[in-house]
């Protein structure tokens, strides 16, 4: 059976990647493996600008706005974990609605490239489908640096979605 690893970060490209991965899983009888990597360097503004930010709910949005108003440049680990849980829950909900087999990994912290490659190895995923762009560690939108590094090192089929 095909296992498709889909790293999700809440960006529009990650949502598109999840959609395409789900289509592939339906067509070829595969399962979806979801992963979210917590990056402590994400800026408040970029978190508020994520494609899924409107689904965070008033409590998380209020915490982010409060952090922004204090001109605090870093988001607490606890808040990043809350946001990660929302991102994973939203992605899992989409996959479950389609009736696909689903594995939701624990959230990981640290280097996205390393964590994605370790998740692929741990789950024996034979395909990685991920957004071509996401939120970078610098808080700006990166243009494929993580996906490019993953694809260079991954010993499996990789698909970049833009």
Residue extents of the structural domains in the chain: 3-161
* Residue 29 scores a pLDDT above 80: yes
- Average pLDDT of the residues in 54-69: 88
Of 35-39, 71-75, 104-108, the range with the lowest mean pLDDT is 71-75
Q: How confident is the model at residue 3 (pLDDT cuts 50, 70, 90)?
A: very high
The mean predicted confidence, pLDDT, of the chain is 89
Cα 81 to Cα 157: distance, rounded to the nearest angstrom: 29
Q: What is the DSSP letter of 140?
A: S
pLDDT the model gives residue 134: 62
- Is this prediction's pTM over 0.75? yes
pLDDT the model gives residue 43: 82
128 and 118 Cβ atoms separated by less than 8 Å: no
pLDDT the model gives residue 159: 95
Of 13-27, 91-105, 114-128, 129-143, the range with the lowest mean pLDDT is 129-143
What residues form DSSP beta bridges with 142? 134
Sequence-distant (≥ 6) Cβ neighbours of residue 27 within 8 angstroms:
none
Exposed/middle/buried for residue 106 (C-beta within 10 Å: 0-12, 13-18, 19+): exposed
Please, what CATH class does the domain formed by 3-161 belong to? alpha beta
């Amino acid at each position: 059976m095909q296992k498709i690893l889909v790293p999700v970060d809440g960006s529009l490209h990650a949502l598109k990647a999840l959609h395409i991965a789900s289509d592939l899983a339906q067509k070829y009888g595969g399962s979806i493996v979801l992963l979210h990597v917590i990056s402590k360097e994400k800026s408040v503004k970029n978190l508020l600008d994520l494609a899924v930010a409107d689904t965070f709910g008033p409590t998380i949005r209020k915490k982010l706005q409060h952090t922004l108003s204090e001109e605090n440049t870093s988001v607490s680990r606890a808040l990043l974990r809350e946001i990660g849980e929302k991102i994973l829950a939203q992605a899992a909900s989409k996959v479950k609605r389609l009736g696909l087999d689903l594995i939701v990994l624990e959230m990981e912290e640290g280097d996205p490239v390393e964590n994605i490659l370790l998740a692929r190895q741990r789950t024996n995923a034979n395909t990685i489908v991920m957004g071509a762009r996401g939120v970078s560690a610098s808080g700006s939108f990166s243009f494929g640096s993580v996906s490019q590094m993953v694809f260079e090192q991954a010993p499996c089929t990789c698909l970049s979605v833009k």
